[in-house]
Amino acid sequence: MSEMADPVPAERILRRNRPGTKAADWCKWPEMKFEEMDSTLSVQQYIQQTVRKDPADIDAILTPPKGQDEAVWKCEHLRQFCMELNGLAVLLLDECDPTVCTQMAATEQWIYLCAAHKSPRECTAIDYIRHTLDGAVSLLNNSKYFPSRISIKENAVAKLASICRRVYRIFSHAYFNHKAVFDQFEANTHLCKRFTNFVVRFNLMQLEHLIIPNFDVGVTSASSHADEGQACQTTDGSLNDTILTGTV
Amino acid sequence: MGQQDFSNAVEEVHNEFAFLPGTDVTDSSSKTASAVWTNVDYQALDKKKADFQRELQQKKGVSRRLPRAELDAMITSLNVTDEGGSAFVSVADKESEVVARLLSKDSKFVQDLDAALGSVGGFSDLMAMTGPFDDSETANRSIIQRPREEPLRKTWAVRFTLRCHFDCVRAIVFHPVEAIVLSASEDATVKLWNLQKSLTANSAGATGVGAGNSRKGSQDFDPVYTFHGHSGPVLCMCLSPTGDYCYTGGMDKTVRCWMMPPPNVDPYDPLDRSISSEVLRGHDDAVWSLAFHSSDNRLISASADGTLKLWEPSANPALLATYVAEPDDGSPTSVDFMSSDLHHAVAAYSSGVAYIYDLEQAKTVLRFPPASCTGGFLHFSINVCLMCSEHFLAACSLSPINQIVCHPTLPITVTAHEDRTIRFFDNNSGQMIDCVVAHLDAVTCLSIDPNGLFLLSGSHDGSLRLWNIDSKTCLQETTAHRKKFDESLFSVAFHPSRPIIASAGADGLAKIFM
């Protein structure tokens, strides 16, 4: 009875950002082993913990804990990519002028149509970026395809690959058209390097689509043939997107 | 004798015609031309007098029926949830602010009564219970007594789960009038949700009972707009009283002002840059709390840089004043404007103290608890939680405050503490008047219903609780959100004018209860 009335013991570590926490102290709590995490959000906790520890350590970030389901691992990482990519989108809001970047283009040979509409639309680059990120967060939270954070339905895994292809275009547009912003963002987050390694490692994109140069892939692809097959699978019509010009 | 009689008659006539416009002119004319009056037609005067009396009687009759008609319309409209809100808005627009408040109280009261009586026939009973409609004191007394006699009968249930954020949802706020809600997240975005569309869709689908039930249980829908602009977690949010502007504060040290897009906007429209109307810079660290004044164009922000800042959005310069806290107080964690004194605001600190500030004189008015209570002085109180059926002897020493809210009508301020307590303070003395052990973990958020009768609390134990403010009893509890690390529930809200409740949490979800 009296024990119940006592405040939470001071000895217990509380991993909590209370109101009033300074930005420098955000999430500054001791590391937690993955085995000790017992939340349905354990994978997200673990990924974010590893990213915060050292965003440059790509291999540590992408290596799943022992026994971790690979499909869930891929999905949680993609959520994290899209969330962090919002930081690049915000930088581009002022930089990417719709009267200059009138289309979503990487180089002049590659122009992409926006898949967020009932029929693919030629959006300006900044709109393509906003729509793609907003569409990704909507799809990855859709209870029809992704009802759970601890298991992934088989028919949903293919969705990850189509999101990855569109996400990569945000990186490539920034790299080829807004190099200074890209370099600043990449220096802080190493996000493009992490993403490139991610899609190669888990066979979510074909190598010929990885057009940003000098992003060496440090990990050899080790996924099964089945995964490879899924990655190459044609996407649903409802999420159709088209490459206007196929010529490299 | 004759002259005096005539003079009296004239005066009597003046009094009888006092209702006419231009009475002064008539009076003046009377004085000037008094000598001219010769043949007075008394029969004609009597006739006019009778006409006036009859007209006056008709007007009185009409005025007596007006409140009844309004109440009748309200009762009828309450049968349809969607129209209920509209009816309330319509009534509020027609009546004075005081009457609107009474109607608002009656709205809650009518819901309880309607549930008990289950028919429009209850109207006569309602009139009997509340007495004369215009008797504010009687109406107030009835409403206050009602919850004591019968706790709120409504049971809140999850109607929608809003899933479109990648990380913790830190704040949730309702539009003052519409069925619109905004959510602010650590994923750096703020999202606008139009509940009305889904409510309408459900009504349409209700033609088939099976379809309706199925749809309700699994309802999924997208936000109508996403605000991009913060470069880091969004930590707090508030709306202007008219609902046309939204203000957000974040880890990136900025306060952003957003023009609300129309509720039927296409979420995949081209970018409208006018929506991001202003960025308020000046804080040196994370912005943790925002509050907007109820009648002035004033915004107050609390930051981990140890300051409160008072702003006037759209003005140049926008920053009006900065209040620097004492280092011993820790970081300001939460701010709110006082409804009883529009020049006062309250601010809470991580050390566990709070203050009333006078914004015009830029100084503290009062401390919660008073300074004499420092130095380990403890308040003891015995509390009962109906849900737990246990008594707690609570030692209420200082504990970090996560949120502070002012009661809308009483001189009381309520605080949510890290040591699981909710505390009530008297705004006149600063003394603590009650302390309730409210949850099994830190109490993170509070919301008082606009009538001031009920309190919502949320906690890192994952639960959302509804309290009767007068008796401090817990009326309902529900587990609302899952944990991420040691965090769970971050924000709760009553809709200001509709029977809707919202909660938001560390699992990236927001929930709508009806």
By Cβ distance, the residue of A5, A20, A90 closest to B350 is A20
Is position A101 annotated in a ligand binding site?
yes
| pLDDT band, very low/low/confident/very high, at B275 (cuts 50, 70, 90) | very high
| pLDDT band, very low/low/confident/very high, at A37 (cuts 50, 70, 90) | very high
Interface residue of B168, B274, B484, B488 to substitute, partner A, most A CBs within 10 Å:
B484
pLDDT, averaged across chain B = 74
Query: Is A143 at the interface with chain B, CB within 8 A?
Result: yes
Strand arrangement, sheet containing B412-417? B401-406, B412-417, B421-426, B432-437
Rounded Cα distance, B78 and B113, in Å: 11
Query: Is A45 at the interface with chain B, CB within 8 A?
Result: yes
Q: pLDDT tens digits, residue range B127-154?
A: 333 333 333 333 333 333 334 334 454 6
Query: Is B395 at the interface with chain A, CB within 8 A?
Result: yes
Q: What count of CB pairs under 8 Å joins A to B? A: 149
Count of CB atoms situated within 10 Å of the CB of B28: 11
Q: What is the SS3 assignment for B342?
A: coil
Query: Is A173 at the interface with chain B, CB within 8 A?
Result: no
Return all residues near A194 (Cβ < 8 A) that are at least 6 apart.
A55, A58, A61, A62, A81
Which amino acid does the sequence have at A123? C
Contact yes or no for B487 and A93 at CB 8 A? no
B31 CA to centre of own chain:
56
For residue B208 the two structure tokens come to 């088939």
Q: What is the SS3 assignment for B167?
A: coil
Count of CB atoms situated within 10 Å of the CB of B54: 9
* Closest residue by Cα to residue B139 from B110, B173, B176: B110
Rounded Cα distance, B325 and A20, in Å: 12
Rounded Cα distance, B178 and B195, in Å: 9
Strand arrangement, sheet containing B354-358? B332-337, B344-349, B354-358, B363-368
For residue A197 the two structure tokens come to 């390694």
Cβ atoms of B492 and B446 within 8 Å: the answer is: yes
| Closest approach of A229 to chain B, Cα-based (Å) | 28
**pLDDT for residue B7 is more than 50:** no
Is position A123 annotated in a ligand binding site?
no
Return all residues near B305 (Cβ < 8 A) that are at least 6 apart.
B253, B283, B284, B285
Which residues of A fall within a CB distance of 8 Å from B233?
Answer: 26
Cis peptide before B369 (omega within 30 of 0): yes
Q: For B401-415, what is the mean pLDDT?
A: 96
Rounded Cα distance, B112 and B120, in Å: 13
Is position A96 annotated in a ligand binding site?
yes
The domains of chain A are located at: 53-207
Helix (H) or strand (E) holding B56: helix B42-78
Rounded Cα distance, B210 and A245, in Å: 49
Rounded Cα distance, B251 and B171, in Å: 13
Q: pLDDT tens digits, residue range B25-72?
A: 333 333 333 333 344 555 566 566 666 656 565 554 443 333 444 454
Which residues of A fall within a CB distance of 8 Å from B268?
Answer: 114, 116-117, 131, 134-135
Q: For residue B273, what pLDDT is reported?
A: 86
CATH tag for B160-199+219-513 (out of 3.40.50.10800, 3.40.50.1700, 1.10.10.10, 2.130.10.10): 2.130.10.10
Cβ atoms of B91 and B103 within 8 Å: the answer is: yes
**Per-position b or e across A141-177, b if 16+ CB within 10 A of its CB:** bbeebbeebeebeeebbbbbbbbbbbbbbbbbbbbbb
ipTM of the complex: 0.86
The domains of chain B are located at: 160-199+219-513
For A147: left if phi > 0, alpha if psi spans -120 to 50, otherwise beta; the answer is: alpha
Domain A53-207: give its CATH code: 1.20.140.30
Interface residue of A1, A2, A11, A17 to substitute, partner B, most B CBs within 10 Å:
A17
Q: pLDDT tens digits, residue range B431-445?
A: 898 899 999 999 999
